[in-house]
Amino acid sequence: MYDTPYHAIDLTSRTVLVTGAAGFIGSHIAEYLLKYGAKVVAFDSLVTGLQSNIDLFLNHPNYTFVKGELTNLYDCERAMVGVDVICHQAALGSVPRSLKYPKATHESNVTGFLNILEAAKTHSIKRVVYASSSSVYGDSKGLPKVESSIGQPLSPYAVSKYSDELYANVYNSAYEMELIGLRYFNVFGPRQNPEGEYAAVIPLFMKSLLANQSPYINGDGEQTRDFTFVENAVQANIKALFTTNPAAFGEAYNVAFGARVSLNHLVDQLKVLTNTNVNAIHREPRQGDIKDSLADISKAKELIGYQPLFNIDVGLKITLKWFEENQEILGL
């Protein structure tokens, strides 16, 4: 992965703080940056992130790990010494978890984000690229989703991510910082954790099918998603981190492929790829879930040069190969 460079400058003199570096997306961003010579300061509490995602790079001379809490301003500040730009991926994810733990979601995702912004301002770090979410579209029925038109949020997680966007807009204008938000649409790929009650759907489906077990689908399975291979998400982060386009700042962008598939079709694809023939088991729909999701990615293409290279078919093959080669992670 990452054979295509998504940057146009020399990264060997750049130091990037990656928060949530023990997480799925954060670890991939760190991987890209290290491959192309940047220095990475990895920041994580290891509450939901995996030590294994830190261990991948601990012996790399350009990698420094700082353990800390987003909710502790001092921890955020000590991670920023010598940093040029910030890639903020750390958050308490999952719509269902936020419905169960709304206060914890707010503290991590809103108070934590505000701490990152304050610490960045204190250390005169202007550029902060942060992870938002397609969940901000809430009950909006229109397709494809366009950044300028959102609905009412359906979960505390959605509220927290939209709050981040509002804070980012204020810091961008009031303090002359350079804030860019990325609204992820169902990112998947190697190293995505299939364990726990808040695991994402693709690793859950892969784990079940590789074990020749029926995967569970919440609802009738006709809900659609714009699944986004992780390298596309990394590309968006890299281009946002190093863009020289002043019109790109103070904006939030859809990060997706720009196509959608139903969960039923996804299971059928994976059954072919895994050579299994078990049937999915349907359960009650999950509270807070949206029915359909499809992104308009023209704004990201125009302002930060985003051009996703991996469709879902290619992404699934790469991801499945990784899971097959790392079956101990699946407990198989």
Q: What is the CATH number of the domain that holds 241?
A: 3.40.50.720
Q: Is residue 289 part of a domain?
A: no
In a domain, 205, yes or no: no
Token digits for 53? Answer: 């995602």
Q: Which helix (H) or strand (E) holds 44?
A: strand 39-44
The secondary element (H helix, E strand) that includes residue 52 is helix 51-55
Q: How far apart are CA 131 and CA 63, in angstroms?
A: 21
- Threshold 0.75, pTM exceeds: yes
Full domain range(s) for residue 87: 15-187+230-258+294-309
Residue 125 lies in a domain: yes
8 A C-beta contact, residue 220 and residue 267 = no
Q: Looking at the domain assignment, is residue 122 inside a domain?
A: yes
Tokens 């290290």: give the residue: 34
Amino acid 196: pLDDT: 64
Are the CB atoms for 30 and 18 separated by under 8 Å?
yes
What pLDDT score does 88 carry? 98
CA 29 vs. chain centroid, Å, equals 10
Q: Single out the residue of 95, 74, 77 nearest to residue 86, CA to CA.
A: 77
Q: Is residue 19 part of a domain?
A: yes
pLDDT for 185: 95
Q: Is residue 283 part of a domain?
A: no
pLDDT at 289: 75
Mean pLDDT by 10 residues, the chain (332 residues): 96 98 97 98 95 96 97 97 97 90 96 98 97 94 94 94 98 97 96 77 92 91 95 98 97 97 95 93 82 95 98 96 80 54
In a domain, 179, yes or no: yes
Strand partners, 173: none
Q: Are 14 and 39 in contact (CB under 8 A)?
A: yes
Q: Is residue 271 part of a domain?
A: no
How many domains does the chain divide into?
1
Q: Which token pair is 282?
A: 């349907």
* DSSP letter for each residue of 240-281: HHH---GGGTTEEEEES-S--EEHHHHHHHHHHHHT--PPPE
Report the b/e string of 217-240 with b at 16+ CB within 10 A: bbeebebbbbbbbbbbbbbbbbbb
SS3 sequence, 168-227? HHHHHHHCCCEEEEEEECCEECCCCCCCCCCCCHHHHHHHHHHCCCCCEEECCCCCEECC
Q: Quote the CA–CA distance of 127 and 148 in Å, as a whole number.
A: 22
| Strands 261-262 vs 224-225: parallel, antiparallel or unpaired | antiparallel
What confidence score (pLDDT) does residue 330 get?
53
Q: What is the pLDDT of residue 198?
A: 59
| Enzyme catalytic residues | 157
Looking at residue 200, what is its pLDDT? 84
